[in-house]
Structure 1
């Protein structure tokens, strides 16, 4: 039905510009703390920065201006790196927020136009339909069976019916449309809306920390405590040896700095934020950071059929008229009864269709009619889609008083109330079975001759006549077979949860190679099961038909009770509860309602399920790379800590082999390695060949932690071997320090390469596309060479010139102390083969 029938033209382009100039845009603006300032304040609280400030102060007090200035430079550099990483994360999140910006429909220049919600202005004619969020405050000027949920304002969850004659004919920003359609003239936008005026309270809500984040924070806190304890011990040892408080403090600070793994929380934040940004580039909008963490653990994907597995491009394919008892093809020459069936189905559809089936019915009506009656009829009452199974009814009337009462819905819905005889029921059931067996989606159509104006409370109370069935073909998506194969290969099971009937769903499932297409259960049957039986049924069944909100929610909860990590796709109002309950709620970007998008934690921009394969792969990659980064941090910190602590505690000839200057240099090498190299690592070949990791498993599991500790201990053995060799050969402190430092830097480089995979060999990982690896390694080698061979730098770092044999030995020991793990990886591959 054309928009002209509402007699609403909306604003012109010039009026929109004038309204925006007068009243502003539709945005909520509140005073917020500067991101830069909050990051700076956070930096000042960082233990590493506090230690650096303390060390630089001690250098200045003791008159060592050169080392003091170096520490100040290090503070500036560390701060700059932290600010840069934070800016990257904030920028990624900012782009995500812009991407999630909701849209709305307005009538402008007499045409329905979709715009971003923040482009809405006072005076606009906002069109709202079932499942959408109200984008601003306005007065209703037209409505069809319209109701709205205002629980966000009132706390009451029931729907409130409204029209232009209601005492309260105002719609409010933030509320959601429960049923029908309405057009409202916008009166307030942004901060001027009712919700905007109380919106301050929304800013104080903080997102809860995820299990992984809590584990990482807990680990870092333990390391900080360990650092504090070690600081006191080392300070005491040094002080009671020399009674020099400043020197002993400086040496204690050296060890405390080596203990702190401050790179870990930075790596976590960077990986999660940039991971969400990378997903956005793939057309996957992540609304919550915890979703990135959860994606790699998904064990079950629950998906709708229409528009997810199929194209959602409905074409009218088959017709069945009860009076003739024949099934015909829609493209054949139609009889008058068949034309009347299509016309009646069109009247049972929305006047402005948005559902693909209703669009198809309107198009078919336009083809077969010579005189379009739609402009002369007005909808006077509407019963929205409801019931189990669902149906909907529309009542139209023209100026002469001629009335049309048309209904359509699930065949069972109309068969239950149309008073069919037993032979007629058998005839209809046989027709449904025949049509659905080929994968067609079937809708029954009915009409009523009700003449009064006192409409019944429910549509099921009308005296309906069953007219026939219209059947639509919605072809499977071209890529769906591969999508399913990819999920199965990754160890993820797939379940179809649909409102369609079992025969149609089973036929489509068989066509696409869906596992378990032979067995299904309906929503009503499922609701009758006790909890114990339900858990087994949801595990053994992959097709769930004639589903409704409570049944969907019960499936999700049963799967969760079975310790599954559940991802669920949805697009409608009725999917909201299940989307919210799933570990990963996935809304469709194009056909998804605002309610579905609000309830979901992830949005597929193109409604393409193959993107979920990409999302799971990205989730697994991010988690794996983060684990590589943190295991690298643990492994490289151990030799730094022990190389500082052991010579001091055992009273070796050169007890203070490293100073804060050396530690901070090593920190500056390690920071970029974990946060830049590993974040940019590509996905390994076996990532989507393994089963999902258990979500309950701890990030720092014992076996992996032991591997990192052993790697660290063997690197420590290498550095201490260099130390003892240099002393045995009569080397002075400067040469000894240089050999130990060179060994440690070499081990760091090889550890970076070896830990790029804990399965594939270093020769395989060298072929991975990550240009940052080469850049960081070249930079590290170049900086180390400058320190060893440029006289002012060598003197500043208290290094000594190495003979070629000493240099090669240091490099060789550093390499061997790490490369041994390649043998372990070789055994893993051999054992798996």
Structure 2
């Protein structure tokens, strides 16, 4: 893995790990309860629909109707099986996500550096932590190199602390963050025994907030449930007044209550979100919370870092400018003795064990060009971390003879400010920096200093520096990145580039990557002087934000949020953490992203491919669109069931109990899989990524959409009741009338599920969409309908009679007219 670990650190053997885990358990918080299949089943049996079915079964048993009672029990088993299947799929999908979301920890075992799931870290393990990583257990440092840690999660103190083997406090704590360097620590506490574990295991049990869509759906279902109770009471009262039969009245009331209760909606929501997350996971997009899928489709602004997101993060050293010779050297001349000093000091100003790609490159160039490698003879004894606006860093090394090397590097502006140069000399260098920046190069200034004694300045800027020159890197845009940004723009989403790099480099790379409106550039220091109101305008009107530091990045994200934007923030570094956490959707890079970035993000792109974010946004839009289709289908088909059960009773028609619970539960068994299994599998409509994102403040169904569903339901009701009246007028028996009404409603239900696949494109267009589940459910529904109509035991049980070809054609015709009128509406909509 490239770690420079001392040979004497061997770590635990496999046997020692097993013994430790038997004694101290695993590195995880207790109390995280995972439901087993029995608990899942018990939860399902508490569902209102099943409670109603139990109540109806008991009434049938009391009146001696054992056939109906048996059917109800079979129905309970079927409804439970469907719910269990859905819940189990959701549970498995979420467990798979959880497993992928678990961070890896680096440990030394058997003398080898390996990565393991964090929960497998054992007491006695030697853990390795480096810049940007979260510490995952408590322990004591046994080896370190330029190591500092931020313990603000425990102490509230935001300053990083330098620690090593000789420190008074060499303890490291779970939940803290490595700011710089590397440390190896021996684990002495894990899980709930760690300091953060003792502060509150309850942190692990905090439930995620319900999303806006979840809240809206819950409110809608509750409203329907209250309406169901009210109508149940009304039907029971009317029926009892007419018949004076309490059990019959209860049965009718329960039938209607069952037809009103839209229990499919919450099941559909859970299924869509969990399976949506699982499908994205298979495409290399790890979703931390399944509800984030809903937010993805609403993204209006993508704020992206430059390095490693737009660019390859390869950081090739392109040029070296040596101030002393006033000459720029390309890669073919890096071994020239004239630039030995510049190459050396550029390397010494880097971390001894480099983490950053640029620093790795500088170490490599030093190794390849210097006759004598002095890295093992000098040790770092004091350092100033990367800080300042613009930032710089300084390292102090010393050998056994107390000879010193003091090296600094950073933003060229920062190094020029602290160097002993005339204004004319600085202007000359600035001109060169501007020229190189316009070509998209990343530039760092390098300087050296001398200092006697140990009373070092408090600030590194107080050293007297000699300017040595510039190191010039090129990080080219990723292949195909301009096509990715074009897709983002086509989807009506804005792009903002928020980077620590300078204006010229950023503008050049952004233009090469296909980012639009790169004329204006604004800097981080400038941003912090604005009022909140001005900040909102600046964040809205600018595309390129350069020389950005964590507070400035956070300020831009918060300003965009205040403007009502739904913000996705892409980043991979420690300094991106606050902005990733604050954004609606924090997106971290899986390969090159730091553990802190991954922990702060709500979504991780496993192979650092920005095009995967487009896939995620498209999936979010598809899932949201399909949830709406499923809910509109549920509303539309529930209306004719409710009215067919209630209107003949209230209007005193000849056959008031045209549907009994067995008919309603059959329809429920058809509707459940259609909305939560079939619609979840619907492909994305072809115009989905060509329209602007929806507003987050939109309700899941606005009044127009709700109105369409209600009209669809009422027209189907008119068709079904027309079939009722036609049959009665032609002398049909109750069984014949029921058969016609039931068949018409089933045909209408099938056609509705086909028509509502799109509220824009025609049924002929959507027929081309591939959805094998829809075909399967349709065939099974028709097979069951014909079995009920033409297989005598079933016909007797459902109290229907067989239909002639003419009657079947009439039922199909009425069903088709009552549903397919919507195709005319869609045609007019397309023409407009």
SS at match of 2:293: helix
Deviations 1:541-580 (A, max 9, x none): 1000000111111111111122111110111221111111
SS at match of 1:80: helix
- Residue 825 of structure 1, CA deviation: 1.2
1:502-651 paired onto structure 2 within 5 Å = 502-651=503-652
Q: Is it true that 1:656 corresponds to 2:637 in the alignment?
A: no
Q: Is it true that 1:147 corresponds to 2:148 in the alignment?
A: yes
Moved more, 640-649 or 453-462: 453-462
Q: Is it true that 1:11 corresponds to 2:4 in the alignment?
A: no
- In the alignment, the residues of structure 2 paired with residue 613 and residue 752 of structure 1 have an alpha-carbon distance, to the nearest angstrom, of 29
Residues 1:162 and 1:809: Cα distance change in structure 2 (over 3 Å): same
- Give the alignment's TM-score, normalised by structure 2: 0.97
1:73-472 paired onto structure 2 within 5 Å = 73-108=74-109, 110-197=111-198, 200-332=201-333, 334-472=335-473
SS at match of 2:376: helix
Deviations 1:113-147 (A, max 9, x none): 33332333333322222321111111012334533
SS at match of 2:555: helix
- In the alignment, the residues of structure 2 paired with residue 164 and residue 43 of structure 1 have an alpha-carbon distance, to the nearest angstrom, of 56
Moved more, 710-719 or 154-163: 154-163
SS at match of 2:604: strand
Gaps of 5+ in 2: none
* Partner of residue 802, structure 1: 803
* Partner of residue 738, structure 1: 739
Deviations 1:738-765 (A, max 9, x none): 0000000000000010011111111111
Deviations 1:249-280 (A, max 9, x none): 10111111100000000000101111111111
Residues 1:277 and 1:509: Cα distance change in structure 2 (over 3 Å): same
- Residue 225 of structure 1, CA deviation: 0.5
- In the alignment, the residues of structure 2 paired with residue 426 and residue 51 of structure 1 have an alpha-carbon distance, to the nearest angstrom, of 83
- Residue 384 of structure 1, CA deviation: 1.8
Moved more, 261-270 or 821-830: 821-830
- In the alignment, the residues of structure 2 paired with residue 311 and residue 824 of structure 1 have an alpha-carbon distance, to the nearest angstrom, of 49
1:687-702 paired onto structure 2 within 5 Å = 687-702=688-703
- Residue 12 of structure 1, CA deviation: 6.0
Aligned length in residues = 831
- In the alignment, the residues of structure 1 paired with residue 157 and residue 447 of structure 2 have an alpha-carbon distance, to the nearest angstrom, of 36
Residues 1:184 and 1:30: Cα distance change in structure 2 (over 3 Å): same
Residues 1:362 and 1:179: Cα distance change in structure 2 (over 3 Å): closer
SS at match of 1:793: helix
Contact 1:298 1:492 (8 Å CA) reproduced = yes
Moved more, 552-561 or 700-709: 552-561
- In the alignment, the residues of structure 2 paired with residue 137 and residue 121 of structure 1 have an alpha-carbon distance, to the nearest angstrom, of 11
SS at match of 1:688: helix
- In the alignment, the residues of structure 1 paired with residue 293 and residue 717 of structure 2 have an alpha-carbon distance, to the nearest angstrom, of 35
- Residue 830 of structure 1, CA deviation: 1.7
- In the alignment, the residues of structure 2 paired with residue 403 and residue 10 of structure 1 have an alpha-carbon distance, to the nearest angstrom, of 33
- In the alignment, the residues of structure 2 paired with residue 701 and residue 5 of structure 1 have an alpha-carbon distance, to the nearest angstrom, of 61
Moved more, 769-778 or 411-420: 411-420
Residues 1:312 and 1:808: Cα distance change in structure 2 (over 3 Å): same
- Residue 28 of structure 1, CA deviation: 3.4
- Residue 455 of structure 1, CA deviation: 2.4
- Give the alignment's TM-score, normalised by structure 1: 0.97
SS at match of 1:769: coil
Deviations 1:180-219 (A, max 9, x none): 4322112233344333455532344222211111100000
Contact 1:259 1:641 (8 Å CA) reproduced = yes
- Residue 6 of structure 1, CA deviation: 4.2
- Residue 2 of structure 1, CA deviation: 7.9
Contact 2:528 2:552 (8 Å CA) reproduced = yes
Contact 2:335 2:369 (8 Å CA) reproduced = no
Contact 1:320 1:431 (8 Å CA) reproduced = no
* Partner of residue 492, structure 1: 493
SS at match of 1:328: strand
Gaps of 5+ in 1: none
Contact 1:395 1:406 (8 Å CA) reproduced = yes
Deviations 1:12-36 (A, max 9, x none): 6556645555544433344626343
Residues 1:108 and 1:462: Cα distance change in structure 2 (over 3 Å): farther
Contact 2:574 2:597 (8 Å CA) reproduced = yes
- In the alignment, the residues of structure 2 paired with residue 159 and residue 403 of structure 1 have an alpha-carbon distance, to the nearest angstrom, of 25
Residues 1:506 and 1:167: Cα distance change in structure 2 (over 3 Å): same
Residues 1:22 and 1:666: Cα distance change in structure 2 (over 3 Å): closer
Q: Is it true that 1:479 corresponds to 2:483 in the alignment?
A: no
- In the alignment, the residues of structure 1 paired with residue 396 and residue 110 of structure 2 have an alpha-carbon distance, to the nearest angstrom, of 29
